Amino acid sequence: MKVDNLLTQFLYQHKRLSLPGIGTFTTDGGSVQFDNDSDKELSQDLVNYIKTHTGKMQSLAISDLESFIMLNKQFLNIGKALYMEGIGTLVKTKEGDFEFTPGGVVTERLEDLRPTQPSAFDETAPRYDQQNVASRLIVIFLIVLTIGLVGWGAWYLFKQNSETNLPEQTAVPISEPEQDSLNIIPDSNTIMNPVDSLRNSDTSISRRPVTLAGSVETGRWKFIIEEAARGRALRRYDQLKTMGKSILMETSDSVTYKLYFSLPASPSDTARIRDSLKLFYNSKKVIVE
């Protein structure tokens, strides 16, 4: 006999049936009432009743009851109705409680019930049905797997929403704008003077830059290409380092991190270098310090 039918017969015989996590059914012999409050654990009388009428060991009887309760709680939570023949129908309301509708009374007499399987304690009978045990283990495994997948999905969405959604930057395919290679246009304060050709063995004329009087000396400047939170800054820093870039990183408050290049330049060249970096690293804004 199925577990739900046995639960119905148990209710009529003992006048009370409590299913942990669902509620408690009571009857006076004519009608069935329901209360959302339930016992925290299965009653020993119910376990013994299931064990007696199924011929199973106590552990398997408990497993049957727990599986029945677990599966039907899940169905109730997703809006499915739980119908128990001879007892009634349960549905979950928007408030989270279970609403009960009594059903028809079962006319089958209790004394007509007979165990459908040999007793587990009969020495001549097998201890348990291995096929049934395997089926229950598969069901439990599928339930656990489903819960795990739902939990993982919720965690993944939470992680995605919690991260700073900063756009990845794409490098424009031009030459590396570092140090002297950034000097695309000669400084207006620098001219090329010839060196005495008699000092060289060939007839070519070499040239070298000479700084005019009054020009500003070249110094090192900090070109900040990005300011971001720690996670984003570390990923970008590692990415540029992997590409062989001489990127630097610093923070003053452990909240906002600056990614920057330290490059030599004269004050008149900083704007040109800043624009080159902005184009090359697709930065929204490059700050010069």
C-beta separation of 82 from 89 below 8 A: yes
Give residue-wise pLDDT tens across range 159-175: 877 765 544 544 444 34
Confidence check: pLDDT of 222 > 60: yes
Q: What share of the chain is helix, strand, coil (3-state, %, to 5)?
A: 40, 20, 40
Q: How far apart, in whole angstroms, are the C-alpha atoms of residue 133 and residue 60?
A: 8
280/259 Cα distance (integer angstroms): 14
* Residue ranges of domains in the chain: 3-128, 179-186+217-288
Tokens standing for residue 89: 């129908």
DSSP per residue, 137-163:
HHHHHHHHHHHHHHHHHHHHHHHHHHS
- Decide if pLDDT at 210 tops 60: no
Q: What is the overall mean pLDDT for the chain?
A: 76
Q: Does domain 179-186+217-288 have CATH number 1.25.40?
A: no
* 150 pLDDT more than 70: yes
pLDDT for the residue 106: 56
Answer yes or no: is pLDDT of 31 > 50.
Answer: yes
Q: How confident is the model at residue 199 (pLDDT cuts 50, 70, 90)?
A: very low
Q: What is the mean pLDDT of residues 127-153?
A: 85
* Residue 204, pLDDT above cutoff 80: no
